[in-house]
């Protein structure tokens, strides 16, 4: 099956095959839901706006001051602005643009990415391209609309060559991610990759060992699963992601979300 094909583009047999490939062998609710009846459209990104005019004065840009700068921000808009001009982070110099937060900031659901890849770097979206298409299909399969959730990257700038972020880069980005969660106050967080769970909840550095386990980030229930980009490279792992999505759906039902 073409991995770029969305569920709404498939005939019933193809849609069933897609779910089987995802490892869908359990029923979540008592009443069947036609998850492919409504058309799935990938909307243009609506990231939090960043002013194009640099402030006249800037605070100290040392890495040690990142937490103080983040704590001083009372809204997501101000936080995004502060992060956009935080020159101490070397990723800012090599990336094209900030890829931090988008979506419904009042949602009780927060979807987290680890870091931007090439397409996110170009678009400013948290998830972009084929990864966004797959993410939207994954959420739709558990009756969650991508337009109804908040989305955030733990690391807001693309590391050169799409490599993993370095410790000093993480240290300068983490206060902004923590403050964003404090401001938005989500009830449940689904993280795609292990990095957020490792640094925010003390989870295992391996996504295979961390995935599917409930942790806590502040007052929010937190779970990590495999990133759509990894699932596109290794389709056999979709079964693991599907099990995590089922557990996430059960948590949403438990919290009446």
CA 205, 208, 214: angle at the middle one, nearest 5?
A: 80
Tell me whether strands 188-192 and 109-113 are parallel, antiparallel or unpaired. Answer: parallel
Helix and strand numbers, DSSP H then E, in the chain: 11, 6
- The CATH architecture that domain 60-254 belongs to is 3-Layer(aba) Sandwich (3.40)
For 20, the token pair is: 């089987």
H/E stretch holding 189: strand 188-192
pTM of the model: 0.79
Domain boundaries, the chain: 60-254
pLDDT by residue for the chain (257 residues), tens only, comes to: 444 454 445 556 665 665 666 656 555 555 555 544 444 444 444 555 544 343 444 444 565 688 889 999 999 999 999 999 888 888 988 899 999 999 999 999 999 999 999 999 999 999 999 999 999 999 999 999 999 999 999 999 999 998 999 988 898 899 999 999 999 999 999 999 999 999 999 999 999 999 999 999 999 999 999 999 999 999 999 999 999 999 999 999 999 99
CB atoms within 10 A of CB 127: 29
For 145, the token pair is: 């609309």
Dist CA 253 CA 223 (whole Å): 15
């Amino acid at each position: 099956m073409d991995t770029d094909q969305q569920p709404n583009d498939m005939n019933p047999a193809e849609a069933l095959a897609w779910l089987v490939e995802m490892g869908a062998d359990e029923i979540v609710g008592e009443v069947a839901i036609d998850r492919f009846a409504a058309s799935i459209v990938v909307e243009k990104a609506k990231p939090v706006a960043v002013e194009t005019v640099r402030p006249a004065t800037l605070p100290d840009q040392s890495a040690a001051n990142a937490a103080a700068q983040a704590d001083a921000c009372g809204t997501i808009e101000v936080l995004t602005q502060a992060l956009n001009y935080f020159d101490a982070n070397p990723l800012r110099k090599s990336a094209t643009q900030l890829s931090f937060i988008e979506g419904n900031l009042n949602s009780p659901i927060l979807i987290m990415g680890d870091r931007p890849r090439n397409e996110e770097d170009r678009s400013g979206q948290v998830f972009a391209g084929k990864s966004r298409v797959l993410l939207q299909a994954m959420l739709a399969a558990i009756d969650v609309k991508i337009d109804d959730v908040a989305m955030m990257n733990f690391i807001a700038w693309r590391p050169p060559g799409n490599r993993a972020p370095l410790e000093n880069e993480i240290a300068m980005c983490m206060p902004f991610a923590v403050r964003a969660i404090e401001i938005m106050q989500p009830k449940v967080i689904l993280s795609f990759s292990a990095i957020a769970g490792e640094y925010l909840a003390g989870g295992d550095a391996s996504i295979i060992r961390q995935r599917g386990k409930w942790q806590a980030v502040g007052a929010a229930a937190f779970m990590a699963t495999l990133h759509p980009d990894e699932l596109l490279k290794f389709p056999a792992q979709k079964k693991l992601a599907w099990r995590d999505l089922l557990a996430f759906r059960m948590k949403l039902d438990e919290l009446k979300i």
